[in-house]
């Protein structure tokens, strides 16, 4: 991926699904912890290939939990989860691990590796795929420059601000051009100018074919970007209808 200083185009939420396939599909999915009540109830969800989507709802509604289900970090208590057209209940651990490698993810706690530099954190997904350093070096440098961290390549994550860590996490999530990108409050720790730049980056990924799902409380952001909006409340998922 070449991500130079030129501004990427805005998101393309109306991109046509590839061969009509859903990248993510939930059918009557429920999740409970132990014997407690279901924190997610009868969730029906479909994310078509190449679409741009927002996930919103009040604090504590379960948005992060839903993202963790999509990433296969949690298993549902009931219902069917399909990823990239495959029923996950029928897949081996090795196959599920391969599926995760096709997902770029940005968590609120960033999940950076402290003993690796900023550059090494971003390059990690490509190293795992066996890509040679000479093949990814320029892309990593260009991407870090795009997110405003071109001068922090050798810095340790411990020395970064929250907003800088957020940008490193986003760069790491997109560097390998994943089929699916999920992000939990990706603009929550950055100023509006950087936030707008990051959304343009997500839009560029979407135009390249990546399915995007962004969980956010930022209604101003949602209102500014024409995209499908999913609302999670009282353990149920609804699609918001544009006025």
pLDDT of 47 above 80: yes
pLDDT, position 231: 96
Domain boundaries, the chain: 112-176
pLDDT of 192 above 90: no
Average pLDDT, the chain: 90
| pLDDT tens column, 10-40 | 434 333 333 458 999 999 999 999 989 999 9
Handedness of CA 12, 68, 89, 126 (dihedral sign): positive
pLDDT, position 243: 61
User: Looking at 5-19, 109-123, 143-157, which range is the least confident one?
Assistant: 5-19
Residue 159: CB atoms within 10 Å:
11
| Selected residue with higher pLDDT from 109 and 6 | 109
pLDDT of 172 above 60: yes
Integer-rounded Cα Rg, in Å, for the chain is 18
DSSP 4: -
Which of 237, 189, 242, 241 shows the shortest CA–CA distance to 213? 237
pLDDT, position 13: 37
Put simply, whether the predicted model's pTM sits higher than 0.85 gets the answer yes
Share of the chain above pLDDT 70, in %: 91
User: Looking at 40-54, 70-84, 182-196, which range is the least confident one?
Assistant: 182-196
d(CA 79, CA 24): 13
d(CA 26, CA 79): 7
Two tokens at 78?
């009931």
Residue 173: CB atoms within 10 Å:
22
User: Looking at 4-13, 95-104, 138-147, 197-206, which range is the least confident one?
Assistant: 4-13
Residue 41: CB atoms within 10 Å:
18
């Amino acid at each position: 991926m070449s991500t130079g200083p030129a501004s990427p185009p805005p998101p393309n939420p109306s991109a046509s699904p590839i061969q009509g396939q859903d990248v993510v599909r939930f059918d009557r999915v429920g999740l409970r912890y132990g014997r407690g009540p279901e924190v997610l109830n009868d969730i029906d969800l479909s994310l078509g290939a190449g679409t741009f989507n927002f996930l919103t709802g009040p604090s504590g509604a379960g948005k992060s939990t839903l993202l963790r289900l999509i990433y296969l970090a949690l298993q549902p208590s009931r219902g069917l989860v399909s990823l990239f057209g495959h029923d996950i209940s029928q897949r081996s651990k090795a196959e599920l691990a391969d599926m995760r490698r096709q997902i770029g993810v940005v968590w609120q706690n960033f999940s950076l590796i402290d003993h690796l530099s900023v550059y090494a954190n971003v390059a990690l997904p490509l190293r795992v795929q066996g890509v040679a350093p000479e093949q990814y070096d320029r892309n990593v440098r260009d991407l870090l420059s795009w997110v405003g961290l071109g001068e922090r390549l050798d810095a340790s994550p411990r020395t970064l601000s929250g907003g800088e860590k957020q940008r490193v996490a986003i760069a790491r999530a997109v560097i390998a051009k994943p089929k699916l990108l999920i992000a939990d409050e990706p603009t929550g720790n950055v100023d509006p100018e950087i936030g707008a730049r990051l959304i343009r980056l997500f839009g560029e990924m979407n135009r390249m074919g990546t399915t995007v799902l962004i969980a956010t409380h930022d209604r101003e952001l949602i209102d500014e970007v024409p995209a499908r909006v999913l609302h999670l409340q009282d353990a149920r998922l609804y699609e918001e209808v544009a006025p």
